[in-house]
Amino acid sequence: MKTLRIDHVTVATPDAARAQATFARFFGLGQATSAVAGGAALTIGDARIEFVTPAAGSALAAAMAANGEGMAALCLEVASLDEAAERLRKGGARFTAETSPAGRVMLVDQSEAHGVRLTLVEQRIRTAARASRSVEK
């Protein structure tokens, strides 16, 4: 599997706009981009930090209630999801493949990534994914 770059990091927070403003003001990070579902985003180079306020009752809201606000997910862009799936299968790692409005994505079981909610996206869908991505609320 060839990992190309970090596509985005998701931060769960009770106030997405405030978190975006904090990161921009204090840390000089990125340029504000169009809001993602339930939040806001900053672009840094060719990657994003997405700030989301999870919907009540969602898995992300439960995680935030248990662990507080903070990094909730990491999304990596890979050259080929088929190659990634083969490598993970050979290593015995658990994952699920899903189809989003933008194309295929792979969700790696958190226990395989040391507790990180890890999503893999394929290079060819990256542009489309940005246009139609919806973040779990």
pLDDT at position 131, please?
A: 47
Residue 137, domain member (yes or no): no
Residue 16, domain member (yes or no): yes
Verdict on whether the full-model pTM lies above 0.85: no
Q: Are 49 and 75 in contact (CB under 8 A)?
A: no
Residue 46, domain member (yes or no): yes
User: Domain containing 73: what range?
Assistant: 3-132
Give the residue among 73, 75, 102 at the shortest CA–CA distance from 3.
Answer: 75
Residue 32, domain member (yes or no): yes
- The amino acid at 21: A
Q: Are 123 and 78 in contact (CB under 8 A)?
A: yes
The pLDDT profile of the chain, 137 residues, written as one tens digit per residue, is 899 999 999 999 999 999 999 999 999 887 777 666 768 899 888 899 999 999 999 988 998 999 899 999 999 999 999 999 999 999 999 999 998 777 889 999 999 999 899 999 997 654 544 444 444 44
- Here the CATH number for the domain that contains residue 59 is 3.10.180.10
Residue 11, domain member (yes or no): yes
Rounded CA gap, 69 and 89, in Å?
A: 32
Residue 27, domain member (yes or no): yes
pLDDT at position 68, please?
A: 92
Number of domains in the chain: 1
Residue 22, domain member (yes or no): yes
Rounded CA gap, 128 and 7, in Å?
A: 13
Residue 65, domain member (yes or no): yes
